[in-house]
Amino acid sequence: MRLVASANHSHFSQKTLLRKRVLRPFAALQHSCISWGRCNVPYGCKLEDLLAILHDQAPAKADAVALDRRRVEHGLLSVGLKVHYLGNERQFFSLVERLGGASNVLEINMYKHSQASLCLVLPPVGNARAAILLLECMERFTGDALFGNRQIQIQVCSPGRLDARHSGLLAIGFYLGSDTLRRYTCGDLETTASRGARYQRGQRLVIYDAGGDFERDFEWWGRDGNHRRILRRLPWEDGRSDLLIGSGSRLDVENINLLATLLTHAENQGYWSKLGEQFEEDMESLLNRHLLAALVDAPWVRSGDAESADDMKFFSALQELTAYVFEESVRVKKSGNLFSRWQEIPARSSRGILHEMQTLLKKYRTEVVRQSRLLDKGGRT
Residue 321's pLDDT is 96
Residue 345's pLDDT is 55
Which of 27-36, 154-163, 188-197, 359-368 has the lowest average pLDDT? 27-36
* pLDDT digit string, tens, across residues 187-234: 888 887 677 656 677 778 999 887 666 789 999 999 998 899 999 999
* pLDDT digit string, tens, across residues 113-170: 767 788 888 989 999 999 999 999 999 999 989 999 999 999 999 999 999 999 999 9
d(CA 215, CA 48): 16
Strand, helix or coil at 79? strand
Residue 11 pLDDT class (50, 70, 90 cuts):
very low
Closest among 246, 215, 216, 201 to 111, alpha carbons compared: 201
d(CA 131, CA 205): 20
- Residue 164 near residue 301, CB atoms below 8 Å: yes
Sign of CA dihedral 298, 349, 277, 160: positive
Q: Is residue 190 in some structural domain?
A: yes
Strand, helix or coil at 280? helix
Which residue did the predictor score with more confidence, 124 or 185? 124
Q: Is residue 104 in some structural domain?
A: yes
- Which phi and psi (to 5°) does residue 21 adopt? -75, -15
Closest among 323, 286, 284, 374 to 74, alpha carbons compared: 374
pLDDT at 34 over 60: no
Strand (E) or helix (H) holding 120: strand 118-125
Mean pLDDT score, 319-333? 78
Closest among 118, 36, 34 to 84, alpha carbons compared: 118
Which of 17-21, 105-109, 239-243: highest mean pLDDT?
A: 239-243
Mean pLDDT score, 70-85? 95
Residue 107's pLDDT is 58
* pLDDT digit string, tens, across residues 100-117: 777 666 655 667 776 778
Amino acid identity of residue 95, one-letter, is L
Amino acid identity of residue 236, one-letter, is W
pTM of the model: 0.82
Mean pLDDT score, 34-44? 38
Task: Count up the domains in the chain and report the number.
Answer: 1
Residue 329 pLDDT class (50, 70, 90 cuts):
confident
Domain region containing 238: 71-376
101: left (phi over 0), alpha (psi -120 to 50) or beta: left
Average pLDDT, the chain: 81
Closest among 363, 364, 377, 360 to 228, alpha carbons compared: 377
Residue 212's pLDDT is 64
Q: Is residue 330 in some structural domain?
A: yes
Mean pLDDT score, 57-83? 95
pLDDT at 361 over 80: yes
- Residue 182 near residue 376, CB atoms below 8 Å: no
Which residue did the predictor score with more confidence, 38 or 330? 330
Q: What is the chain's Cα-based Rg?
A: 21
pLDDT at 73 over 70: yes
Residue 333 pLDDT class (50, 70, 90 cuts):
very low
d(CA 263, CA 273): 8
Q: Is residue 29 in some structural domain?
A: no
Instruction: Please state, in angstroms and as integers, the Cα–Cα distance from residue 79 to each residue in 29, 85, 94, 286, 315, following that order.
Output: 17, 19, 25, 27, 26
Residue 346's pLDDT is 57
Residue partners of 193: CB distance under 8 A and separation at least 6: 111, 199, 200, 201, 207, 210
Residue 238's pLDDT is 86
d(CA 226, CA 381): 9
Q: Is residue 196 in some structural domain?
A: yes
Q: Is residue 350 in some structural domain?
A: yes
Q: Is residue 35 in some structural domain?
A: no
Q: What is the DSSP string of 224-264?
A: ETTEEEEESS-S-SS-EEEEEEES--HHHHHHHHHHHHHHH
Closest among 286, 277, 258, 274 to 356, alpha carbons compared: 286
Residue 198's pLDDT is 62
Strand, helix or coil at 156? strand
- Which phi and psi (to 5°) does residue 315 adopt? -70, -30
- Residue 125 near residue 43, CB atoms below 8 Å: no
Residue 191's pLDDT is 80
pLDDT at 264 over 80: yes
Q: Is residue 43 in some structural domain?
A: no
Residue partners of 347: CB distance under 8 A and separation at least 6: 178, 179, 180, 181, 329, 354
- Residue 130 near residue 71, CB atoms below 8 Å: yes
